A and B are shown apart, each in its own frame.
Chain A
Amino acid sequence: MNLNPYWGAGFFHVLALFFKRLFLFLTGQLSWQQMASDEVQIFVLVLLSFASALIGTFLVLKRMTMLANSLSHTILLGIVIAYVVLLPFSQENPSHGLSIEVLLIASLITGVITTVLTQLMTHLMKLQEDASIGLIFTSLFALGIIAVTVFTRNAHIGIEAIMGNIDALHFNDLKIMGLIGAVDFVVIMLFFKEFKIVSFDSGLARSCGYPIQFFNYLLMVLTSATAIGAFRAVGVLLFLAFLVGLPLTARLLTQRLHKMILLAFVIGTVCSIVAVALSRHLLSIYKMPLSTSGLVVTLIGCTYFLACLFSPHRGILKRRS
């Protein structure tokens, strides 16, 4: 167990050290196994902002963010179901974190169940769309909490699911996050044109014969896969902030889709690195341990506010002058 090199470092010291060590990692002078916990946090957050820049942009454009919100709640039930289904087959102790197959099954189940139920409520029961979203996700989430209580005999386990526990991140989480980011990237790149046309002009897409429903479900499954990856690492809340906050900020700064995705990713990366450095700074200089997830979300909020001020086409400063 080697000592964390970031121990006691201030803000700029952390930044300098991070980029120096990043260079060493990339040139192979340091092995990946020697990664310090701060670096794991940064890499996970950067990967997450990559994945959510890709998916979130389309979610925002397709006005499906509330469905993503409901997914981020219902994955609790998905994970419980996946455990109950897989427990007889797996030898390992379920408290050891999520294996890949559990993740996969849980995300598939959650994405499909939530979307199907919500659409059923809208079409079959003739309910308003937002009412059906609210009804389905709260009831599935309540079921999830009850199920967790029954299986673990502890009523307070769910809190960590919302907050995440970013300080307990492990190298394995990085692997999972990387895998999910890669899957998101491949799928979105494969169907980039299709996603673009479906989100900008669904009427045209329908008349050209694109299966709109299929792409909706695909996007939802990707979202829930990413949510589950983020679930243990940083909590669903931070995931939501990334998913909606980054594209909205980028939207204020640009009008083009490619730029929007790229910009969202860049903003996410900067926010993550700054937040981790800041939390280390506060800890070492002021002895003030703060939740890094909370810090990242607050930073994203501040960035959005800045973007509101300086946005080229609808900024506050722009109109007054």
Chain B
Amino acid sequence: MNTAFLDFFIDPVLRAPTIGSMLMCLAASFVGVLAFVRRRSLLGEALSHCAYPGVVISALITPLFFSASEEALALAVLIGAFCSGVIGLWVIDKLEHRFRVSDDAALCFVLAIFFGVGVLVASRIQITHALIYRKIQVFIYGQAATMTDSHVYMYSGLVLLSATILFCFYREIQVSFFDRQFAKSIGIRTRLVDRVLFFLLVLAIVIGIRSVGVVLMAGMLISPAVAARQFTHSLKWMFCIAGLVGAVSGFLGNFFSIALPEWGKKAGFDWDFILPTGPMILLSSVTICFFALFFAPDRGLLSRFCRIVKFRDRCILENVLKSMWRKGEGAKVSFKEFASWASYSQFFTFFLLLRLRRQGWMEKKQNLFCLTSDGRLRAAHIVRLHRLWEVYLVHMGQKAEKVHRSAEEMEHIITPELEKELTDLLKDPRQDPHHQPIPRKEV
């Protein structure tokens, strides 16, 4: 069997699981953004476990009243999961506020106890209703493969519902997240907004546990939000990116769970199985998330690291210029002398000098190095910033003998705007606190 991308949307067996997981991941990532911004990411972990006893109990009760048709059972399970999720939420809230349990302990306790109750009831069902028991176990690790078209209709309805609520309350949510006091003052009922948020959270979990399972639901809420945060500062775009990441990973999870064993078989392994979909969805989403954490343009680890290296490098260059400037106008230094007072290796010094000459700040005359006029201007500017900062610190009440160290750092950081502010504030001083002249600002 060779599965192409498009088959996942057309093939009657693959279509329902793929679209179902994509919808569910979409809902989860929308709500995950809310939880992430509210700094309650692990609430999802607790609530997904809380939903389990609801699933089990409703599966036990439903056949007593209704005919045990597939659709009725699926709907009952959703309602049960929702109810026990809400109860779990209430208990967590009580524990935290009434009994002063720290939030992590409250979450952990509630998830363990609720899940335990679920296990207890499930062990009863295991004997009495073996068929239903097998259907319920699906919820622990999730199983997208057995989804049918009716599931997809139900889930798309729920996703539409949560998206609509989110859209209607968008302004209120946004304002009350970023400034609670302000939101209260303009008449937004922040407690109501919180309730809506928690309602959405439980809803997303109820939708999600069918395909990724109780245990992995937390990761599905968090990872798209984290990935989206790396790329943008705006809440609106965060929703869009997180939704995209979620939907894509929902598809990729289904794709790889079938494609990976096939590739393994082609490579000669004895892989005659289908990988579980839930973990694959989560792993795809986490992979995207890690990619974003490392390589995002502004906040990524790589670009932050590059910025640090660049800044250090600039500091070194500027320090060299400064010390050449101090030698006086027209001072000439041989390579050996240079290497001895800059405490770097010969190799590094060679490159340093090469780069300084490339920049046009230094020149080489008969094996001796000296500053060009450009270099002198640049160095004078740094010294000016250094001494300006010293004057400013003394102006602010610091002792003159203590200001040098701070100025050593600030001279590399001060921007032209700040320099202008300082000059205006200090009325363009001529001397620093150590009675050294401050170089004039060149035009």
Residues of A within 8 A of B (CB): 60, 63-66, 68-69, 73, 124-128, 130-131, 133-135, 137-139, 141-143, 145-146, 149-150, 153-156, 158-159, 162-163, 237-238, 240-241, 243-245, 248, 252, 288-291, 293-298, 300-301, 304, 308, 314
Contact = CB atoms under 8 A, between A and B. Distances in A.
A147 B220 CA distance: 19
Given A134-B218, A135-B223, A63 B276 contact: no
B215 A141 contact: yes
Interface residues of B, number: 60
B219 A135 contact: yes
Given A153-B273, A244-B105, A139 B120 contact: no
Interface in B44-72: 44-45
B102 interface: yes
A214 B225 CA distance: 32
A314 to B, nearest CB: 6
A211 to B, nearest CB: 23
The prevalent SS among residues of B at the interface is helix
A1 to B, nearest CB: 25
> Which of B116, B141, B222, B299 is the most central at the interface, judged by chain A CB atoms within 10 Å of its CB?
B116
Contacts of B104: 63-66, 130
Nearest to A282: B124
22 contacts: A63-B104, A64-B104, A65-B105, A65-B109, A69-B107, A130-B40, A131-B222, A131-B225, A133-B42, A134-B222, A135-B286, A137-B219, A138-B218, A145-B278, A150-B271, A243-B108, A248-B101, A252-B99, A294-B117, A294-B123, A297-B113, A300-B116
Q: Which of A73, A154, A288, A301 has the most CB of B within 10 A?
A: A301
A139 B219 contact: yes
Contacts of A66: 42, 104, 107-108
Given A138-B286, A139-B219, A295 B120 contact: yes
A289 B113 contact: no
Contact of B124 (A153, A244, A245, A290): A290
Contacts of A241: 109, 112-113, 116
Given A69-B111, A139-B282, A146-B283, A289 B276 contact: no
Given A65-B108, A66-B104, A298-B116, A134 B276 contact: no
Interface string B246-290: 000000000000000000000000011111101110110010010
Given A138-B219, A138-B282, A290-B123, 12 more contacts: A66-B108, A130-B104, A134-B218, A138-B216, A142-B219, A149-B275, A238-B116, A240-B112, A245-B109, A289-B127, A291-B120, A297-B115
Contacts of A135: 219, 222-223, 226, 286, 289
A228 B150 CA distance: 41
A71 to B, nearest CB: 11
B279 A63 contact: no
A297 B99 contact: no
B279 A130 contact: no
B119 A293 contact: yes
B41 interface: yes
Contacts of B122: 291, 294
B219 A145 contact: no
B36 interface: yes
A314 B99 contact: yes
B163 interface: no
A110 to B, nearest CB: 16
A193 to B, nearest CB: 23
Contacts of B86: none
Nearest to B276: A155
A237 B275 contact: no
Given A66-B104, A69-B45, A162-B215, A155 B283 contact: no
Contacts of A69: 45, 107-108, 111
A165 B286 CA distance: 31
Given A64-B104, A138-B282, A298 B215 contact: no
A263 B278 CA distance: 41
A301 B119 CA distance: 14
A291 B216 contact: no
Interface in B77-135: 98-102, 104-105, 107-109, 111-113, 115-124, 127
A298 B216 contact: no
Contacts of B219: 134-135, 137-139, 142
A73 B45 CA distance: 12
Nearest to B127: A289
B101 A291 contact: no
B282 A297 contact: no
Nearest to A76: B215
Contacts of A252: 99
B293 interface: yes
B39 interface: yes
B39 A130 contact: yes
Given A125-B293, A139-B219, A158-B141, A131 B36 contact: yes
Contacts of A163: 119
Nearest to B274: A155
The list of the 4 closest CB pairs from A to B, nearest first, reads A297-B116, A138-B219, A294-B120, A291-B123
B140 interface: yes
A289 B123 contact: yes
Contact of B117 (A134, A150, A298, A314): A298
B125 to A, nearest CB: 11
B76 interface: no
B108 A128 contact: no
A146 B276 contact: yes
B244 interface: no
Given A244-B112, A290-B120, A142 B279 contact: yes
Contacts of B117: 294, 297-298, 301
Contacts of A63: 102, 104-105
B333 to A, nearest CB: 41
Nearest to B304: A126
A237 B119 contact: yes
Contacts of B115: 237, 297
A66 B103 CA distance: 9
Residue from the set B119, B127, B141, B271 with the largest chain A CB neighbour count within 10 Å: B119
